[in-house]
Structure 1
Amino acid sequence: MRGDGGTPARIPGPPAADDAAEAIAAAGGLHTYQLKLHAEYGPVVRFPLPGADVAVSVADPVLLEATAKIDKRPEKLFEFLAPLQESGNLQTIPAAEHGPWRRVMLSVLAGRPSHEARFARFAALTSELAGRWAARAATGDAVALQKDLSELSLRMICEYALGSGLESDESAGRVVSAFEDVLTEYLARLYHADVAGDAEERRVRADEALAYLRATVDRVLAAHDPSGKAGRSDMIAALVEAGESPARIRDSVLMTMLAAHHTTGVAISWTLYLLARHPDAAARAAAELDRVLGDRAAPGYGDLKELAYLERVLKEAMRLYPPGPYGARETTEDLMLGDHAIPAGTTIFYPFWAVHMNPEYWPEPEVFDPDRFTPEASAGRPRLAYIPFGLGPRSCEGAALAMVEAELVLAVLLRRFRFQLVPEQTVTPIERFVLWAAEDIHMTLTPRVPGRDQGRSPTSKLDI
């Protein structure tokens, strides 16, 4: 059943004449706009989406099952990423082309042998950051979590995917800043948003940042060891073996760097933020680390499976603050979404944050409770009630790697420090390709004495 012009009928939502960009800006971003829409109109909402005309947003995990096999992203919605790629937008390449490319990426990013092969180097990089943070703690200086942890995650993905790291911490910082310049400009164009500063200066800065990013990747590729010594953990070698073109290899590397350093860095940052607000949970995680690690400062790869509570903490943090707050697909054939007939060519919007805050499946959804993820608590929950890495054939290829990296980093940092939020700062989630804190998250650190309780939790609900 269709309405006028092929629009799905009987789906509630705001008037089509509403200025979508204005409504999104007024709500504080598309992520918070989705929370507002679903609170007002229910689990299925029709709404005007910049770049897609009319979209259907689905916050019910049971209804999402009908869309789980779709292997097409709406091209207009992801065209802002096209300038980063010269071999075809990897976010929207056709299913026939996407499937083989995805299998190669999964062979590198999702395999336990490659995780284990890089784990010791990841631990060393994390320990180096902890050492720098210890020096700051000794002088009473605060740390900016997102900035430092994004740089750490970027260095990890370069070690992993490229077979070599960036030359220095300074170059890692430049790459992070360059990505921010590019994304700020192109997201502003997508949502027709007002951004501070002169438009021409922003365009020039974004163009220069993109040129720097490409030159950085080219330098790493030129220095790459073609012997394939890194084996299955070497993305470049795997793509070469699969017969991908040099341009596709460079684009794959660049997009992997973009996705991995942002998502993993902010996931760790939000987790530490929540633990700072809930010292009881921090103490419980620290006690688990004391038990599993003994007198070791960092876990081995095999220790991660013993850190069950730490994993639950991370999962709950990504429920409350999913690194990527939304996704989208485009239907390739007519389908039924519950009682709603959805025609082919419709943009299906995945509001991950609204799915994670659905009270039908997450009672008191704003409460931070890692024990939601015990086996017993998870047993009766629909599988798509929790989708921090997306769903279906376009879900994140690096999900397993991100979990390994995040658990390792959290283990090292929580073993070594207690975290306290700098007083009177405002932490506001905003969308900048990922769910970023607008002014970063600033913490003061105290060296931790193993076995010592960290106190009671001052609060249990979040300001979302």
Structure 2
Amino acid sequence: MRIPGPEPMADGGVGAIAAAGGLHTYQLWLHREFGPVVRFQLPGVETAVSVADPVLLEATAHIDKRPEKLFEFLSPLHEAENLQVLGAQEHGPWRRILLSVLAGRPSHERHFAQFTALATELADRLAGRADGTPVALQKELTELSLRMICAYALGGADGLTDPERAVAAFEVVLTEHLGRLYQVPDDSEDAARAAARAARVEDALGQLRAMVDRVIAAHRSAGRTDRSDLIGALVEAGQRPARIRDTVMVTLLAAHHTTGVAVSWTLHLLGRHPEVAERVAAELDRVLGDRAAPEYADLRRLTYLDMVLKESMRLFPPGPYGARETTEALTLGAYGIPAGTTIFYPFWAVHMNPRYWPEPERFRPERFTPQEAAGRPRLAYIPFGVGPRSCEGAQLATVEAQLVLAVLLKRFRFRSEPGHEVAPVERFVLWAADDIRMTVDPRTP
């Protein structure tokens, strides 16, 4: 049975994606038009099969291979090999090293005080802005996320003296390489402008690599023996220097965006739903009392805050899609899928599937009560991906996001800036085109 989808176009699908406003919004349209399984043109792999039904996704959850061409845009970030497409045999041991650091509860607890100090520093800065001046939240929270991942995975932020510059460099690189995939080429660009743009990208990459080298040098000069940080674990495992640098780059890339983006979208939604924000504030007052920040054990008691964060990541998943390549033939419902097929995971379309999420565009944290969650398929909610290539830092990102939200919402109310339009766009993660600008008001418990 032929998989439904739009007619092929001579440009390989680039024009359709651009016209839809990006790949993430294109996916929403595809699945509304053609159903839960769609065949479409995906630049970099020619044709892919997108699956928005969580029951059908189960048949693909074991796949441990990514389509190499689709992830070529990340190759410039690597010195040795593109870690996003390591073969399964090499990927498994490397993933276990990352999980031993990023997913370890004892390590989370050891770093929690430093996380709290960093979040509190941001709250103190925002207190100085409580005069009605809008705050660009994604910018502020992305910088905080970068400091947090350095403190945790790299054993300290010693080598990172200018996080704002690092964030800007990441954006230059990602915008350039994502643009090659999903934007219609600009034939009017002359050679001088193209050369200047290429030079900016190379300069940004140079800045990033120098930054990573400084962090690694700071780690080594301090003579640290704690293997709960990423570099220590990689050294202990005998990884070669180029692989260590590549892993650091990928970790910074993934983590410096994800947590800050998730928190900023959550604050945006709370600004639009003050009744939910008040309930979160009441829970924080009840659990924390007079304390300005939670202890690690308090996070498990902040059950409504957790539901709010999950609902926010359902509506605005930080990473809007993933992809795998089948290594053998499989069946998806009525469709046969041959080996070598690119399977596309449209996280946003999965999260907006009305069969499993009634009124999917509505912000309703109660969807994540244990009772409601028990009635949904396992893969109906996949903000961190699926299977053996899912995000190694999922637990760390959740701890960071819960902590930052608790610290900020204990002290402030966030209100949307009147007239400011918040529009999601692709910047490797689901970004806001003109940031998320909100005013900050102190609150009294």
Query: Which bracket does the TM-score occupy, shorter chain normalised?
Result: over 0.9
1:376 Cα deviation after fit? 0.3
1:358 equivalent in structure 2 = 353
2:47 equivalent in structure 1 = 54
1:285 equivalent in structure 2 = 280
1:29 Cα deviation after fit? 0.3
Contact 2:159-2:214 at 8 Å conserved across structures: no
**Paired AA for residue 79 in structure 1:** E
Q: CA offsets, 1:373-428, max 9 Å, x none?
A: 00000111000000000010000000000000000000000001000111111111
**C-alpha distance in 1 between matches for 2:250 and 2:158:** 16
**Paired AA for residue 88 in structure 1:** E
**Paired AA for residue 59 in structure 2:** A
1:299 equivalent in structure 2 = 294
Picking from 69, 78, 91, the partner of 1:85 is 78
Contact 1:136-1:143 at 8 Å conserved across structures: yes
**C-alpha distance in 1 between matches for 2:283 and 2:221:** 42
**C-alpha distance in 2 between matches for 1:391 and 1:91:** 14
Contact 2:145-2:259 at 8 Å conserved across structures: yes
**C-alpha distance in 1 between matches for 2:377 and 2:441:** 40
Contact 2:159-2:218 at 8 Å conserved across structures: no
**C-alpha distance in 2 between matches for 1:167 and 1:287:** 39
Contact 2:141-2:264 at 8 Å conserved across structures: yes
**C-alpha distance in 2 between matches for 1:207 and 1:61:** 40
1:232 Cα deviation after fit? 4.0
CA shift in 2, pair 1:296/1:338, >3 Å:
same
Contact 1:114-1:232 at 8 Å conserved across structures: no
The answer to whether structure 1 residue 103 and structure 2 residue 96 are counterparts is: yes
Residues 176-195 of structure 1 aligned to structure 2 (within 5 Å): 176-193=167-184
**Paired AA for residue 180 in structure 1:** E
Compute the TM-score of the two structures, normalised by the length of structure 2. 0.97
Partner secondary structure for residue 56 of structure 2: helix
1:222 Cα deviation after fit? 1.1
2:330 equivalent in structure 1 = 335
Structure 2, gaps ≥5 residues long: none
1:52 Cα deviation after fit? 0.8
Q: CA offsets, 1:325-354, max 9 Å, x none?
A: 000000011111111110111000000000
Cα RMSD of the aligned pairs, angstroms, is 1.5
Contact 1:117-1:233 at 8 Å conserved across structures: no
Aligned residues: 440
Contact 2:135-2:437 at 8 Å conserved across structures: yes
Structure 1, gaps ≥5 residues long: 1-8, 451-464
1:18 Cα deviation after fit? 5.7
**C-alpha distance in 1 between matches for 2:257 and 2:158:** 16
2:369 equivalent in structure 1 = 374
CA shift in 2, pair 1:228/1:116, >3 Å:
farther
**C-alpha distance in 2 between matches for 1:369 and 1:319:** 10
1:141 Cα deviation after fit? 1.8
- Off by >6 Å, runs of 4+ in structure 1: none
**C-alpha distance in 1 between matches for 2:264 and 2:403:** 13
Q: CA offsets, 1:7-53, max 9 Å, x none?
A: xx510000023641110011000000000000000000000000010
1:56 Cα deviation after fit? 0.1
1:87 Cα deviation after fit? 1.7
Between the aligned residues of both structures, percent identity stands at 70
**Paired AA for residue 357 in structure 1:** M
CA shift in 2, pair 1:134/1:167, >3 Å:
farther
Picking from 36, 45, 69, the partner of 1:43 is 36
1:29 equivalent in structure 2 = 22
Contact 2:159-2:212 at 8 Å conserved across structures: no
**C-alpha distance in 2 between matches for 1:228 and 1:47:** 52
2:126 equivalent in structure 1 = 133
Contact 1:166-1:172 at 8 Å conserved across structures: no
Contact 1:153-1:265 at 8 Å conserved across structures: yes
**C-alpha distance in 1 between matches for 2:311 and 2:236:** 38
1:226 Cα deviation after fit? 7.1
1:271 equivalent in structure 2 = 266
Partner secondary structure for residue 85 of structure 2: coil
Picking from 357, 378, 393, the partner of 1:398 is 393
Residues 149-188 of structure 1 aligned to structure 2 (within 5 Å): 149-166=141-158, 171-188=162-179
**C-alpha distance in 2 between matches for 1:84 and 1:141:** 37
Contact 1:163-1:230 at 8 Å conserved across structures: no
1:458 equivalent in structure 2 = none
1:140 Cα deviation after fit? 2.8
